[in-house]
Structure 1
Amino acid sequence: MAIVKMNKFTLLALESEKSKLLERLQTFEGVQFINLQNEEEKDETLKELSEVTTDSSYTEYGENLSKIKFAIDFITPYSKKESALNSFLSDKREISYDDLVEQMKDNSWKRYYKELKDKEGRLNEISSVTSKIETEISLLKKWGNFDAPFKYLNELKYTSSYLGTFPKQYEEELINSINALENPIYYEILNRDNTDVYFFALEKKLENSPLNELLKNSGFSNFQVSYSENPTEEIRELNSSYLRLINEEDHIKESLYDYVDKISELQIAYEYFNTLHLRAEANNNFLKTRRTVAIYGWNTEESNEELVSLIEDTLGENYYISFSEVREEESPKVPIKLKNGSFASNFESVIEMYSMPQYSEIDPTPILSIFYFLFYGMMLSDAGYGLIMVIATSFALWRVKDKERRKTFKLFLFAGISTVFWGAIYGSWFGDLLPKYFGVNIPFLLDPANNILEIFIISLVFGIIHIFIGLGTKAYILIRSGAIKDAVYDVLTWYAALIGAILMLLGIGGVLGKILLFGGLIALLFTQGRSATTIGGKIGGGVYGVYGITGYLGDVVSYSRLLALGLATGFIANALNLIISLIPSPFKFILAPFLFVGLHLFNLTINALGSYVHAARLQYLEFFSKFYEGGGKKFTPFKLSDKFIKITK
C-alpha cells in the first residue's frame, strides 16, 4: 500500500478551554503535537507569543504516579504468578475512559500507599536491626570462651584487664615475652582465626605496665566492650530479639497478601493519573497570548473531518483550525504511519526494526513481505517445524485480541506456512523421520542432500530478482520525483551491465550479452562521477562506480544463505533422529518421545531465530541498500495511558 498521507494542522482556541480540548484530543488519539517552543519550529507569526508552561498539577500527578508505582511494585511479588505462557497470551483488560473516571471517585489508593509505605518502613527497620544483630552474634561467638560477665571488667580495683586481639604472627614472641616478665600475669588465648589471636590478660595495676608496652608493640587492639553479661548469655538474648523481629517480619509479609486484590484498583489509579500527567505535559508544546493558545500538530489527512467535528463539539464556535499540505522542506520531520493490506501489514515490524521510511520515500513493506515470506520458509525448510509454528500461532491468535500483538503472531503464522511449503518441496518432515523410521514416503520435488546445486541456483535466482526489484524501486522513486536522467544513469546502466554479465556467465545471448555488459560499464564510467566538480573527481567517481559491480556479485552470493540455513535445519534434524534411534531397547520406548520433543524443539527454536534474523538481513543489506534511505519517525499520537490497562474511548 503506502505511507499514510499526513497534513499539518493549526489550531487556535481560548486558553480557558484548553483543558477541555486536550481531554477530547487525548481520547481521539489521532494527533501528534509539534513543539512550538522549539525555536526551529517558530515562524515569524509566532515569535511574539509566550510559552505555555506546566502548572503545579504536573508535579502533583508525577508524585502520585511515583507513589502508586511503588505500591504496585511492592505488592506484585506476593501476587499469584501466572505461567509464562498465560502471561504471554493474555490481553490487557479494557475499560472505557468514562468508567475510569467514575471508578476514581471511590479509589482508595492513598490509603493503600500510606499503609504499604509504613510496612515498608518497618520492614527496612527490621532488616537493618537483624543485620546488626547478625554481626554482633558473629563477633561475640569469637569471644565465646570468655566465660565471665563483661561487666566484671569495669569493677576491677587492683588489677588491669586486657581484652582484645593481636596479629597471629606476633603470638609466639609475645607469649614468650609475657612469660619472661617478673610481674605475675594471668592470660588466656580465647580463640584464633585466620589473622588474629583473641587474648585476655590480668595484671596488678602498675604505674608503668610492661605488659601494656608489650601489647602495644604487638599491634594489640582493644575489644570495645558494650555488653554486660558473658558472650553466651548475650548471644542468647540477641537470638531471642532476632527471632522476635523475624516473626514480626513474617507477619508483615503475610499481611501483604491481603493487598494483592487491590492491585487492580491501584492500576486504575495509575492509568488515571498517567493520563492526566501526559495531558499536562502536552502544554510544553504550545504557545499563547493572554487569552488564546496556539496548537500545531500532525494528523492523517483522512481524519480531518473527524478532527474538526470533535473540536466543534467541544468548543462550539470558539476556535480556528486550518490544514496545510506537507511542504518539501518539511518532509524529514513528518511522522510516518504505514497502511498495508491484511498480509503485508503483519511485516511492518520488520521495517520498524530497521528504520521507518521518510515521508518522501515509498513504503517497502508490500515487496518486503513477499520476499520475507519466501526466504524465511526456505531457510527453516522443515514442514514438521512449520506445522508446529502454524498450530502455535493459530492458538495464540485465538487467544489474543490486541491488534499489534496479533500482527506479530500473524507474521510467524505466515512464516510457518512458508516453512510447510518449502519443507514439503524438500521432503523434510522432522528431518527424515517419516521415510527412514516409519516407512512413509511423501512425494517431494528436491532432495537437499542430492540437489544442492539446484537449490543453490534457485537461491541465486531469488537473489537476482530481489536485487533487480530493488533497483526498479529506485528507478520508480527517481522518476516520480522528476529525476529521469538519474534513473537512466543509476539504474538502467546497472540493469544493462548486470544482465549482460549474467548472459555471459550462462553462456547465452552471444554478442548481446557483451554489448549489454561493456555498454553498461562504459555508461557507468562516464556517469557515476557526474556530481563531482573536477575532472579528476569525475574520473574517480566513474571508476569507483564500475568497481561497484563487485559489490553486486557479493550481494548475489549472499543469498546462498538460503541454501546453507535450509541444509543446516534438515541435516541437524536427521542427526537428532539418528541419535534417538541409537538408544538401546527397551529404554528407547521410554526415552525416545521425550528426547524427540526436547531436541526437535531446540532445533526449531535455534533455526527459527536464525531464519528470522537472516531473512531480515537480506532485506536490510541486499535489498534496502539499492533504494531505501530510512530515518523516518513513527507517528506517535497524543493518547490515553495504557501501561496496565487498555482504555477505550
Structure 2
Amino acid sequence: MAIEKMQKFNLITFHSDQDAVMEQLQDFQQIELFSAAKYNREANIFFNQMQEHPEADKIENQIGNVSWARGFLDTYVEKPGMIQALRQPLRHYTLKELSEHAHTYKWQNVYANLRKQDKRLRTIEQERQELSTQEDELNKWQYFDENPAVLNTLSETIGLLGTVPNSEFNHLKEKMRQLQYSYLETIHQTSTTSYLLILFLKESHERAQDILRTAGFEEYDYPYENKPADELKQVKEKSQKLAKEEKSIKAQLKAQKDDYENLGLVAEYLDSLLVRVNSNQYLLESNYTVNLSGWVPEKQTEQLNKRIRQIVGDDYFLEFSEVKENEYDDTPILLKNHKLVQPFEGLVEMYSLPKYWELDPTPFMMPFYALAFGLMVADFGYGLLLFIAAALAKRFLNFKPGMLQNITMFQIGSIPTMMWGLVYGNIFGQQFSFQLLSTDSDITEILVMSMIFGFIQIMVGLGLKFYLLWQRENAKIKALFQAGSWMFFLISVAMIAAGMVLVPETALQSVGITCLIISLVMIVIGGSFDGNTVIGKIGSGLYSIMDLTNYLSDLISYTRLMALGVAGGSIGAAFNLILSYLPTPARFTIGIVLFIGLHGLNIFLSYLSAYVHGIRLQYLEFFNKFYTGGGRAFKPFKSNESYVQVISEENQQQGDK
C-alpha cells in the first residue's frame, strides 16, 4: 500500500545489439526511458546525442497507410454490437507475434487494392451525380418525341426549345398567337417554369425574338444525339449499372472483416516499432557503443539484468542508482496496492497522482469512499442488484483493465450499500419490520452519524498530515502546531458537544472549553510559521483562525450523506405508494413495468449522486488536509495498445502454464 520504489538505471552496450536490446526492453514493459545525458553529465565527453532513426519517416508513412486502410474499411465492415463485442475475449499478442504477422501478411497489397476501390467508388459517385443531373434534364424534355436536331434542318421555319417563367407563359402564348404562322407547344411544366417548343417563319424572326425576349425566354441547346426519351433510357441504364457495380464493391469491402482485423495487428506492430525508433532521442552513442538510461521499479532490477544478459551475454555494462531527494519531482509514480484497493486508484488519478515523497492516499481514501457511497444509497435491494450485475458482467463479459477496475470499484461499493440498507431497513423503497435507524423518525440520529463520519475522516486526514510533517527533518514543530493543533481543536469541540448533550452533569464541557482555548493559541502559533517578518508572522497567525469556517463547512458537507440516503429511500417509497393505488390486476401487469422503470431511474440517480458526491468529499474535505499531488504517471516503454493488448513473452508463458 504505497508508491512503487523506483531506481535509475544506465546501460551501455554495443551498436550491433541496439535493436535486439530495445525490442527486449519494450517486451519487458517495466521501464521508462529518459535522456541518458541526464544520468551522467560527464557522459557527453565520451558520447554524442544519437541521430534520428533513418527508418522513422518510412514507418510513419506506413502507419498512415495502414490507418487509412483500416479507417476506410471501418465504414463498410459489419462490427459486433456492444454486448457481442464484450463477449469476445480480449486479444493478447506478444511483440514477436505481431512482428511475424506484419511480415507475413501482405498488407501492402490490401492497401493498394483498397486505394483502387476507393478511387473507383469516388468515380462512380461523380458519374452518378452527372447522370442524375442529365436524368433530371431529360425528364423535362422526354415528351418531345423527335430528335431536337431536326429543328436545325427546317428551311422556311425556325424551331426553338426553351423555357419561360410561368408568370409570363400566358402573355407569351397570347403574343405568339398574334404572330402569323407560329406554333407554341408545352412539353413540360413545373410549379415555376414552362418548357416549350416554338416554331415561327424565318421572315418573322426579328418580331418573334422581341416577343421571346420580353417574355424572358431562354433557349435550350440540346446536347445529345438521340431523342430525349431514348437518351433518358440510356442514362437510366448507365445509372443502374453503376449502382450495381457500387453495390458489388461495397459487398466485397463488407466481406473483408479479416483484413480489417489483420490491419489492426499490423498497425499495432508498426506503432510499437515507431516507439522503438523514436527512442533514439533518449540515447547517446559513441563509435561502437550505445548508452541509454531510464526508470525501473526496484523489484524489477534483477529481471531487467537477466533480460539484457539473455540478449547480449556479458557484452554490456549496467548500473543502478537510488533516487535522490532533488529528483523526487521528476520521478514517475507507479501505485502499488492490494487488489481490493486497486480499483480506487482511478479516483486518485482523476485528482492527481502523489509526488514521490508523498503517501499514496488510495488505501486511506478507499474505506471512507466505499462507506460514504453506501450511505448515500442505503438500500439493500439496490446494493444487491449492483453486486449481482457487476459479478455477471465480470463473469460473462471481457473488459479492458481500466473498465474492469471501475466495475470492481462499484461492486465493492455495493457491499456497504447493502450494509446501510440493512441498517435503514430499506429494500427497493420498502421497509423491513426491523430497523436500526429509520429514515422517517431518526433523521436527527442519521444527521449526527453523518457528522461523526466526517469528523473521523477529517481527523484521519489531519493525522496523515501530522505523520508526513513529522517524517521530515526540522518539521516536527510544524507537525505539532499546524496539524496537531487542529486535531486538538476538533477533539476539544467534540468534548464540548459531548459535555453538553451526553454527560451534562460532568466537567467535560469545561475541560473541552479549556482545551479549545489552548488549541486556538496553537493554531495561531502554527500559522505564524508561514510569515517571513514579525508583522507577517503575527498577521498569518491571526489569519489562520479564519480556517475555522473551512473546518465547519467541511463537517457540514458530510450532511449530504444523510440527505442523499434519506432522499433516495423516500423517492423509492413514493414510487411504491403510487403503485399501491393501482387495481390488483394492473399491479401485476403495467405495475411491474412501472416498478422496473421507476426504480431503475431512482437507482441510476442514486448511484450517480453517490459517485459524484463521494468523489467531492474525498477531493475537497479529505485530500486538502494532507495531500498535495502533482505526480507524473509512470509511462512504460511499450506499445500504445491502440488495437490489441500487448503482453510480454514471459507473461504469455505463465498464462499458458
* Residue aligned with 2:450, SS: helix
Contact 1:92 1:644 in 2 (8 A): no
Contact 1:529 1:542 in 2 (8 A): yes
Q: Which of 479, 484, 487 matches 2:479?
A: 487
Q: Which moved more, 1:1-10 or 1:606-615?
A: 606-615
Change (3 A) 1:558 1:197: farther
Q: How does 1:124-135 map to 2 (within 5 A)?
A: 124-135=122-133
Structure 2: 5+ residue stretches without partners: 501-507, 650-657
Deviations 1:517-541 (A, max 9, x none): 3333344345425433455544443
Letter in 2 for 1:4: E
Q: Hey, what does 1:92 align to over in structure 2? A: 90
Q: Hey, what does 2:585 align to over in structure 1? A: 586
Q: Hey, what does 2:310 align to over in structure 1? A: 313
Letter in 2 for 1:414: I
Q: Which moved more, 1:532-541 or 1:411-420?
A: 532-541
Q: Hey, what does 2:596 align to over in structure 1? A: 597
* Residue aligned with 2:295, SS: strand
Deviations 1:474-527 (A, max 9, x none): 111111122112222321222233333444455543233333333333443454
Matched, 1:363 2:354: no
Q: Hey, what does 1:546 align to over in structure 2? A: 545
Q: Which of 478, 481, 497 matches 2:489?
A: 497
Change (3 A) 1:305 1:460: same
Q: Which of 263, 268, 271 matches 1:271?
A: 268
Q: CA deviation at 1:198?
A: 5.2
Q: How far, CA to CA, are the matches of 1:162 and 1:131 in structure 2? A: 28
Contact 2:94 2:646 in 1 (8 A): yes
Q: CA deviation at 1:629?
A: 1.5
* Residue aligned with 1:397, SS: helix
RMSD (Å) for aligned C-alpha atoms: 3.3
Q: How far, CA to CA, are the matches of 2:188 and 2:542 in structure 1? A: 85
Q: How does 1:62-101 map to 2 (within 5 A)?
A: 62-76=60-74, 79=77, 81-101=79-99
Q: CA deviation at 1:636?
A: 1.4
Q: Hey, what does 2:7 align to over in structure 1? A: 7
Change (3 A) 1:94 1:179: same
Q: Which moved more, 1:115-124 or 1:68-77?
A: 68-77
Structure 1: 5+ residue stretches without partners: 436-440
Matched, 1:343 2:340: yes
Change (3 A) 1:526 1:96: closer
Q: How far, CA to CA, are the matches of 2:148 and 2:523 in structure 1? A: 97
Q: Which moved more, 1:635-644 or 1:138-147?
A: 138-147
Q: CA deviation at 1:29?
A: 0.8
Q: Which moved more, 1:184-193 or 1:381-390?
A: 184-193
Q: CA deviation at 1:254?
A: 2.2
Letter in 2 for 1:349: G
Change (3 A) 1:209 1:390: same
Q: How does 1:225-244 map to 2 (within 5 A)?
A: 225-244=222-241
TM-score, with normalisation over the residues of structure 2?
Answer: 0.87
Change (3 A) 1:177 1:356: farther
Q: Percent identity?
A: 32
Deviations 1:291-313 (A, max 9, x none): 22221111111111111121122
Contact 2:429 2:570 in 1 (8 A): yes
Q: How far, CA to CA, are the matches of 1:103 and 1:226 in structure 2? A: 56
Contact 1:470 1:626 in 2 (8 A): yes
Contact 1:91 1:402 in 2 (8 A): no
Change (3 A) 1:120 1:394: same
Q: Hey, what does 1:643 align to over in structure 2? A: 642
Q: Hey, what does 2:462 align to over in structure 1? A: 471
Q: How far, CA to CA, are the matches of 1:3 and 1:544 in structure 2? A: 35
Letter in 1 for 2:627: Y
Q: How far, CA to CA, are the matches of 2:549 and 2:74 in structure 1? A: 58
Deviations 1:216-238 (A, max 9, x none): 67776655643344554433322
Letter in 2 for 1:490: Q
Q: How does 1:449-468 map to 2 (within 5 A)?
A: 449-468=440-459
Q: Which moved more, 1:470-479 or 1:174-183?
A: 174-183
* Residue aligned with 1:629, SS: coil
* Residue aligned with 2:290, SS: strand
Change (3 A) 1:610 1:148: farther
Q: How far, CA to CA, are the matches of 2:554 and 2:356 in structure 1? A: 27
* Residue aligned with 1:528, SS: helix
Change (3 A) 1:180 1:581: same
Q: How does 1:14-53 map to 2 (within 5 A)?
A: 14-35=14-35, 43=41, 45-46=43-44, 49-53=47-51
Q: CA deviation at 1:414?
A: 0.6
TM-score, with normalisation over the residues of structure 1?
Answer: 0.88
Q: Which of 284, 287, 296 matches 1:287?
A: 284
Q: CA deviation at 1:251?
A: 1.6
Question: Between Structure 1 and Structure 2, how many residues are aligned?
Answer: 639
Letter in 2 for 1:445: L
Q: Hey, what does 2:119 align to over in structure 1? A: 121
Q: Which moved more, 1:491-500 or 1:146-155?
A: 146-155
Q: Hey, what does 2:629 align to over in structure 1? A: 630
Q: How does 1:516-527 map to 2 (within 5 A)?
A: 516-527=515-526
* Residue aligned with 1:548, SS: helix
Contact 1:178 1:211 in 2 (8 A): no
Letter in 1 for 2:625: K
* Residue aligned with 2:332, SS: coil
Change (3 A) 1:186 1:98: same
Q: How far, CA to CA, are the matches of 2:287 and 2:624 in structure 1? A: 52
Q: How far, CA to CA, are the matches of 2:163 and 2:541 in structure 1? A: 84
Q: How far, CA to CA, are the matches of 1:90 and 1:610 in structure 2? A: 32
Deviations 1:176-208 (A, max 9, x none): 995698787655666666766656655555899
Change (3 A) 1:194 1:487: farther
